[in-house]
Amino acid sequence: MEADRKLISDLTPEIEKTSIKWYVTFFILFAIFSVGVYGLYQQISKGHIVTGMRDNVVWGFYIVNFIFFMGLSYSGALISGVLHLFHTGWRKPIIRMAELITIISLIIGPFFIFFCIGRLDRLHFLFLYPRIQSPITWDVIAIITDLAGCFLYLYLSFIEDFAILRDYPDLKVAPWKKKLYKTLSLGFTGTEQQHKILSNARMVMAAMVIAIAIIVYSVLAWIFGVTLQPGWHSTIFGPYFVIAAVFSGTGLLIILMWIFRKIYHLEEYITQRHFVNVGVLLTVIAAFYGYFTFSDYLTKWYGSIKMDSILIDKLFTDYYSLFIFANYIGILLPCIIIAFPKFRTIPNITIAAIIAVTALWVNRYIIVIPTLETPFLPIQDTRPDWITYSPTWVEWSLTFAGVSVFAMLFMLVSKIAPIISISEMQEKDKNEILK
Amino acid sequence: MRKKTIYTILVLSVLPFFTSGTFAQEVTKISPYVTLQYFKNTDDQRILQTTLTYSKNRAELPLSGMEISFFTGADKKESLAKVLTDNKGVARFELSTDFKLNSDKDGMWSFSSEFKGNDTIASGTSEVTIKDVRLAMTLTLVDSIRTISVKATVIESGKEKPVSGEAVKVYVPRMFSLLPISELTLNEAGEASVEFPADLPGDKEGNLTLVARFEENPAFGNVEKRETLKWGLTTDYSVPTSHRALWTKTAPKWMIYTLSVLLIGVWGHYLFALISLIRIKMDAKRKAKEEYRI
């Protein structure tokens, strides 16, 4: 397996040497993570009283973050699977990022469930006494299955790159890294037979991760959908969650493209064309997402079931700003920015993506919290400030810790593996891609 | 000059951290709530209970591990016991049945409890005056009509006298709380009765517990009588296992089939991918052997 020096240097900027910038960034992220760990220590030692969760609102920031990160993961799988399956020419510089979003989000997401559970010591009961009838059991099975599948899919995409790095004579890395590349490349030498086997396996797994992503995120949506709570009990929630996930994942992909392009000077590989293409994808998905959102709220509003009406009133009063931001600005603004060709610059598309991702997180917040603040039966003799939810510093710290771990894992991967697939980039149609 | 300015700024910025401690006012002590209650249960056991709490952020919080002294007598107090409050701020003392209580000229018993306070919590006391009441509950079944009758009497000047005009509440304990059945008012003879509903579920044998109570009565405190009898509907609470449903132990077959098909399908493809990896490894070994031979 051979590759030219420039390609390896450009696409593996942190493998041979570690820049000061890398250390400084990692240290800052680690500091944020440490604050989160301290917050978690406070929560474990003092109990959930240090969070804003109380008798009514038993799901707060943690579940919002869980849904958000799982959404990013499934969307990463969907995007990379679709791009790979349909041999989209321009996919090559960005497909690795989508794959990494999948795995890293999938590792972080479930931790928020652990933070939310009051009795972590009983966690193993989920495996000892599973009930197939319970959506929680479906979710546990789904996440494990998804994690295994995504790791396998990611590994398949890495094999050729590991073989290239193993065989590259001038690569100045520690002996353990060389050994790692040798082990993980499975002796891949790029024979026709090996290419055929690998290609078939990747195609099969690409199709699988698409299917799994749709099923698994639907399962997560059904945890809400099968619950007889105002705002949650909706048949549309499965597809709605899937679309919302792709919306956020596409936005995050654009943000990561911008960050990596800027930090590692990948202008030659990640061009405006990639931003426009993914941006157009974001616009199309935003349109679908907006349609689903409107459809969901319209039917609830028109039905005028008492609890649904109370909930919608609450969304347009107590949660007015968040609701408008999540469901109007967060959908329309990215569409407007990307729909008009003269606005389609890289910074504008990135700003649109940041708005989309933030709006999606807020959307998750207003799906989870207002519903729990609107119970069918009010709890008697409770303090008013226990009915409403307000996140504490502990929840904020763990949220930011999740984001920092996401970035740290990306940085650690960049120390071992190429951030853009070398094997994909050195294919014969490279010039065409970079055109 | 510049140094002096920097020192001045430093001193001024650090000063606020010390002032709060240096010039702080004397710490205000917590004002506790001391509540003494009298209970007489169905076995005629008498219990004095003191609850020690304080208010913080509009919530009433318990003060645990505090010593509460119980006394009897109005003018001349006689110490009964000293008990520590538990984690709910409650200190309980049971009066033994052979303990002779001195009553005043109206036949009233006086009890008090005292918390002496400490460096951070102020002291507090609470008193109750109780007249011993005898509460009786009779349950009769005539022509399939279930009737609860209660009677309350007190001893005055050595004679038993009826209690009239007071409220007695009747309950049936359910899973989480007491279900109110009726609130009766005692007549001149100290009696009251009510028909018991015939449609209340009991246990699998139809057993129900009935509770008649004086609740927070200013003269009698909390006095109750309990009786258990088969006046309820027989109810089988066991989880049905005979059929498959969302709420039974065994899941519906369609769920098992769907989940199995999905999992076999997905993990089958994973297996294919894993076999592909093994084939790549084997192909690499075969190629290496061929190269070695050459």
Looking at residue A296, its pLDDT comes to 92
Contacts of B240 in chain A (CB under 8 A): none
Average pLDDT, chain A: 88
For chain B, report the end-to-end CA distance as a whole number of angstroms. 87
Mean pLDDT, rounded, for A200-204: 92
Q: Does A186 touch chain B (CB under 8 A)?
A: yes
pLDDT at residue A434 tops 60? no
Looking at residue A435, its pLDDT comes to 44
H or E element: which one contains B60?
strand B59-62
Q: Does A210 touch chain B (CB under 8 A)?
A: no
Q: Does A191 touch chain B (CB under 8 A)?
A: yes
* Residues A413/A406, Cβ–Cβ less than 8 Å: no
Phi-psi label, residue A293: left if phi above 0, alpha if psi -120 to 50, beta otherwise = alpha
Q: Model confidence at A92, in pLDDT bands (50, 70, 90)?
A: confident
Looking at residue A431, its pLDDT comes to 46
Looking at residue A30, its pLDDT comes to 96
pLDDT at residue A380 tops 80? no
Residue (of A292, A354, A353) closest to A327 by Cα position: A292
- Rg for chain A, CA atoms, rounded: 23
Q: What tokens were used for A156?
A: 């398949």
**A212·B266 Cβ contact <8 A:** yes
Which of A 366-395 lie inside 8 A of B, CB atoms? 383
Residues of chain B with pLDDT under 70: 1-27, 239-242, 294
Contacts of B266 in chain A (CB under 8 A): 145, 149, 208, 211-212
Q: Does B274 touch chain A (CB under 8 A)?
A: yes
Q: What is the dihedral of CA B162, B168, B172, B175, to 10 degrees?
A: -140
Say how many C-beta atoms besides its own lie within 10 A of residue A252's C-beta. 25
Q: What residues contact residue B251 under an 8 Å CB cut-off, 6+ apart? A: A131, A132, A133, B244
Over the stretch A31-46, which tens digit does the pLDDT of each residue have? Answer: 999 999 999 999 999 8
Q: Does A208 touch chain B (CB under 8 A)?
A: yes
A337 vs A171: which has the higher pLDDT: A337
Over the stretch A212-248, which tens digit does the pLDDT of each residue have? Answer: 888 888 999 999 999 888 889 888 999 999 999 999 9
pLDDT at residue A196 tops 80? yes
Looking at residue A37, its pLDDT comes to 96
In terms of DSSP bridges, do strands B221-229 and B33-40 run parallel, antiparallel, or are they unpaired?
parallel
Looking at residue A433, its pLDDT comes to 43
Looking at residue B221, its pLDDT comes to 93
Looking at residue B5, its pLDDT comes to 63
Q: What is the dihedral of CA B149, B154, B159, B160, to 10 degrees?
A: 0
Looking at residue B176, its pLDDT comes to 82
In terms of DSSP bridges, do strands B108-115 and B67-72 run parallel, antiparallel, or are they unpaired?
antiparallel
Q: What residues contact residue B167 under an 8 Å CB cut-off, 6+ apart? A: B183, B184, B185, B186, B214, B215, B217
Q: Does B277 touch chain A (CB under 8 A)?
A: yes
Mean pLDDT, rounded, for A120-126: 87
Over the stretch B16-32, which tens digit does the pLDDT of each residue have? Answer: 555 444 444 556 888 99
What is the C-alpha separation between A368 and A384, in angstroms, rounded? 19
Mean pLDDT, rounded, for A119-128: 87
The DSSP string of A79-101 is: HHHHHHHTT-GGGHHHHHHHHHH
Cα distance from A284 to chain B (closest Cα, Å)? 29
Looking at residue B15, its pLDDT comes to 56
Q: What tokens were used for A146?
A: 């998804």
pLDDT at residue A153 tops 50? yes
Q: What tokens were used for B256?
A: 């098992």
- 3-state class of A423 per DSSP? helix
What is the C-alpha separation between B190 and A18, in angstroms, rounded? 92
Amino acid in position B65: G
Q: What residues contact residue B257 under an 8 Å CB cut-off, 6+ apart? A: none
Q: What tokens were used for A154?
A: 């990611």
* Residues B192/B149, Cβ–Cβ less than 8 Å: yes
Residue (of A304, A278, A293, A308) closest to A363 by Cα position: A293
Looking at residue A292, its pLDDT comes to 94
Over the stretch A79-88, which tens digit does the pLDDT of each residue have? Answer: 888 888 887 7
What is the C-alpha separation between B79 and B11, in angstroms, rounded? 58
What is the C-alpha separation between B162 and B150, in angstroms, rounded? 11
Write down all domains in chain B, each with its CATH number in brackets.
33-131 (2.60.40.10), 133-229 (2.60.40.730)
Phi, psi of B171 (to 5 degrees): -130, 165
Looking at residue A90, its pLDDT comes to 77
* Residues B129/B106, Cβ–Cβ less than 8 Å: no
Looking at residue A192, its pLDDT comes to 87
Q: Model confidence at A7, in pLDDT bands (50, 70, 90)?
A: confident
Q: What tokens were used for A297?
A: 């709220």
**Could you tell me the pTM of the whole model?**
0.73
Amino acid in position A252: L
* Residues B231/B146, Cβ–Cβ less than 8 Å: yes
